[in-house]
Amino acid sequence: MKNFRRTKIVCTLGPAVSTLEKVVELINAGMDAARLNFSHGDYEEHLKFIKLVNEASKITGKFIPIIQDLQGPKIRVGKLKTEPIELKTGNFVFLTSESIDGDNETIPIQYEYLTDDVKAGDTILLDDGMIELKVISVEGKKVKCEIVDGGILKSHKGVNLPGVELQVPSLTEKDIEDLKFGLENGVNYVALSFVRKREDIINLRRKMEDLGRVVPIIAKIERIEAVKSIDDIIELADAIMVARGDLGVELPTEEVPVLQKMLIKKANIAGKPVITATQMLESMVSNPRPTRAEATDVANAVLDGTDAVMLSSETSVGEFPIEAVKVMNRIIQAIETQYNFYGPVFDSNLKLRDEVDAIGRAACLLAQQLNAKAIVTITHTGATAKSIAKYRPAVPIIALTDNDEVVKLLNLVWGVTGIKLKEISETDKTIENAKIQLRESGILESGDLIIMTAGIPLFQRGSTNMIKVERI
C-alpha cells in the first residue's frame, strides 16, 4: 500500500472550511475524521457540516466519521459592564454566582454552586489560566480573592477550579439537546467533555439508549478527577482524548508531557483508541509553516503511540487549514518510516483478554515472521481489527466488513484501513471474493502473502476463530 499512514488525523470543522471544495481538500490532504465542536455554532451550521462531510466522503470514496464534541459543564465568566477590565496583581476582587453586570471589583461567574464548592486557599483560574486568583474567604454569595497573577479579562472567558470537586452534572441540558440532534443526524462518535468518573460514561450511554441510538464514546481527559479515575474511565469508554488545553490549566504545565505518555500507554494496553489534541500546530492558525517545536510535538505523540492527532483552530478558523493537514501528514509519515514497530507485540503488559485478542496477537507474530504484506481481517463489528492494532504491527491492517458504520469507526484506529466488502457469500467464497477485491482495487498485488482472520460463521459478533496464511 503506497503512502500508508498508521496514525490518523482528526480535523475540527469551522468557518475556514465551510464549503464542499474545502472539505474535499481536507480529505485529500489526509483528514481521517471530522470533529464538530458544539461549544460553538448553531444546529443549522452543524447540520451543514454533517452534509458536507457525507457528500465529500462520496466524492473521495473515503468513509469519514463525524465526532460530536459536547460542550460539557464549562464554567465561564458572566457579562461585564465594560470590557475588557484589568485585574492588577496584589489587588482583591469578589466573585459571585449572581447574575450581574460585572466590573473590576465584582465579577459574575456562571456557576450556581460557586460559594458551596470553593474554600479559603483554593486556586481559581480565569481566561484558561492566564489570570490566577487565590480564595481568601467565602462571604455569603460572594468569594473574596487575591489576584496572584493579573491580566486583562473579557466576558465569557473560561474559568477553572483545579482540585475542586464540582457539583455540576457531566451532561448539561444543552448537552442532552445537542446529543439528541447529533444522534438524529448521524454522528459516529460522541466526545464527552470534563469527564470525572466512570458514572459519567455510564450516564451518557444510558441517555443514548433512551434516545434510541448508541454510538462509541470518547472520554475527554481534562480534569484532575479524571486522571485519578483513569483506569475505570478507559475500561468503560470506547476511546479517550488527551485534551491538553484544559488539562494544562488544571495541572502544572511541566506535568502534562509525562501525563500524556501515561494516558496513551494505558489506552494502548487496553486496546482503546486515543486522540492527542490541542495546540499541536497552533502557529499555523496564522502562519503557513509550523515551528520546529510543534513538529516535534506531533512527532512525539506519534512515538508515544497515539492512534490519532487532532487539529482544532488550525483547521476551523485558521488561515491555512489545508496546509496544516498536509504538514501533519508529512510529519507523521516521516516518523513512521523511521520507527521500528513490532516492539509492543512482545510487551508483557499487553495481557490477552479473550480469544479474539489472542488471534490478533498471533496474526501480528505471523505477519512478522513470514514477512507478510498485510493482515486482512473480515469483521462485523471491527473488534478484531482493534485487537490487531493493539499490537502495532509494521504491516497495514485491512478490515473488510459488511457494515458502512464500522468502516467509518475504524478510520480512527491506528494502522487500520476499513473497506466495504462488495460481495458476501459463504465463508470460502467470501474470502476468495475479498482477495479479488483487494487485488483489483490495487491495494495488494498478485503473489502478496497475507495473514487472514475471520469468524465462522461470518459476520457474527465476537465469532473470530480462524487465522490463515494466504496469497493474493
Catalytically active residues, by annotation: 35, 76, 220, 278
SS (H, E, C) the chain: CCCCCCCEEEEECCHHHCCHHHHHHHHHHCCCEEEEECCCCCHHHHHHHHHHHHHHHHHHCCCCCEEEECCCCCEEECCECCCCEEECCCCEEEEECCCCCECCCEEEECCCCHHHHCCCCCEEEECCCCEEEEEEEEECCEEEEEEEECEEECCCCEEECCCCCCCCCCCCHHHHHHHHHHHHCCCCEEEECCCCCHHHHHHHHHHHHHHCCCCCEEEEECCHHHHHCHHHHHHHCCEEEEEHHHHHHHCCHHHHHHHHHHHHHHHHHHCCCEEEECCCCHHHHCCCCCCHHHHHHHHHHHHHCCCEEEECHHHHCCCCHHHHHHHHHHHHHHHHHHCCCCHHHHCCCCCCCCHHHHHHHHHHHHHHHHCCCEEEEECCCCHHHHHHHCCCCCCCEEEEECCHHHHHHHHHCCCEEEEECCCCCCHHHHHHHHHHHHHHCCCCCCCCEEEEEEECCCCCCCCEEEEEEEEC
